[in-house]
Amino acid sequence: MTDTATPLRIVHLSDLHFGAQHPGAADVLLAAVHALAPTLTLITGDLTQRARNSQFVAARAFFDALPGDWLAVPGNHDMPLFRPWHRLFTPRGRYHRHIGDPTASRLDWPDLRLTLLDSTDRLAWRAGRLRPEDADRAAHWLAQAAPGQLRMAAAHHPFASRQRGNKGGMSGARHARRVLIDDGGVDVLLWGHLHRTETLLLEGEGKRHAIGIGVGSPTSSRHPADGFFFHQVDITHDTVQLTVLRRLGHEPHFHPFAHHRYVRDSAGWRAM
Ligand SMILES: [Fe+2]
Ligand SMILES: [Fe+2]
């Protein structure tokens, strides 16, 4: 695929937190996604606030109302926090029942090879952990992409972040970056969890780069004054065009708030 190819449109959502949403936020979001008509909607975790059945049912109904295909991966809030027995022995039971197998999220289209990684950990509930064997397996699969496929990986917890502290990155992030970028040749890494939008150009330990994109929450009632966010990501093999959409609490609709464009040339990815 070249620059002149029709881009593939992906909508990236995260941290929907069904059970703790700003009133009406899910309906506004659904209308906004329909208006963009993406081929694929990716949801990087924290579908629910407390992993309750009713919250998963609401999340699943929302996904089934989306246009196009959707893929999701769990976040820390999708495991029980206050029921230690469930958290230890069946941490992903409800996710599995209502949403699907959290370990089977892959997509192999002519212009996109995508893997979603489950970064939740019952013992590292908040910070998350990406198991080295999962990152290695994902890198191996991405390395076998066809020449025309953009390579993408996504998880709930950040692969990297400008922010320090216990929400600044998951355990295993460094290893994951190294194998996914250097061995897997990943082009784009996506995450949520921080409830904050950020874009970074990430380096492996060789000369390769990958585009890192974290997205805020479009619905969470936690910080309504900061606004609600989601991303439109239009991709070809050699371009990634990110549009950040924002809605303030008193506004009826989302609006384009910022644009970031990345282009691949012989030296790799660079921001325009
Ligand atoms: Fe969250
Ligand atoms: Fe989270």
DSSP state for residue 108 in the 8-state scheme:
E
pLDDT of residue 1: 42
Supply the pTM of this predicted model.
0.94
Kindly give the distance from the C-alpha atom of residue 4 to the centroid of ligand 1, in angstroms, as a whole number: 37
Measured between alpha carbons, how far is 169 from 128 in angstroms, rounded to an integer?
Answer: 8
Which ligand has its closest atom nearest to the C-alpha of 222? 1
Measured between alpha carbons, how far is 199 from 119 in angstroms, rounded to an integer?
Answer: 20
Structure-derived torsion over alpha carbons of residues 28, 31, 33, 37, reported in degrees to the nearest 10: -170
Kindly give the distance from the C-alpha atom of residue 266 to the centroid of ligand 2, in angstroms, as a whole number: 36
Measured between alpha carbons, how far is 228 from 196 in angstroms, rounded to an integer?
Answer: 9
**Which of 174, 179, 216, 181 shows the shortest CA–CA distance to 199?**
216
pLDDT of residue 224: 72
Measured between alpha carbons, how far is 74 from 48 in angstroms, rounded to an integer?
Answer: 9
Domain positions in the chain are: 8-271
247 phi, psi to nearest 5 deg = -135, 130
Architecture, CATH, for domain 8-271:
4-Layer Sandwich (3.60)
List per-block mean pLDDT (blocks of 10 residues) for the chain, which spans 272 residues: 75 97 95 98 96 95 96 92 62 84 84 96 83 96 96 95 61 93 97 93 88 96 85 96 95 96 91 92
Kindly give the distance from the C-alpha atom of residue 143 to the centroid of ligand 1, in angstroms, as a whole number: 30
Kindly give the distance from the C-alpha atom of residue 193 to the centroid of ligand 2, in angstroms, as a whole number: 4
Kindly give the distance from the C-alpha atom of residue 76 to the centroid of ligand 2, in angstroms, as a whole number: 5
Measured between alpha carbons, how far is 10 from 192 in angstroms, rounded to an integer?
Answer: 15
Q: Return the structure tokens found at 259.
A: 């644009």
Single-letter amino acid, residue 204: G
Cβ neighbours of residue 250 closer than 8 Å, sequence gap 6 or more: none
Kindly give the distance from the C-alpha atom of residue 167 to the centroid of ligand 2, in angstroms, as a whole number: 9
Which ligand has its closest atom nearest to the C-alpha of 48? 1
Kindly give the distance from the C-alpha atom of residue 101 to the centroid of ligand 2, in angstroms, as a whole number: 19
Kindly give the distance from the C-alpha atom of residue 156 to the centroid of ligand 2, in angstroms, as a whole number: 7
Kindly give the distance from the C-alpha atom of residue 272 to the centroid of ligand 2, in angstroms, as a whole number: 30
pLDDT of residue 87: 58
Q: Return the structure tokens found at 123.
A: 């013992």
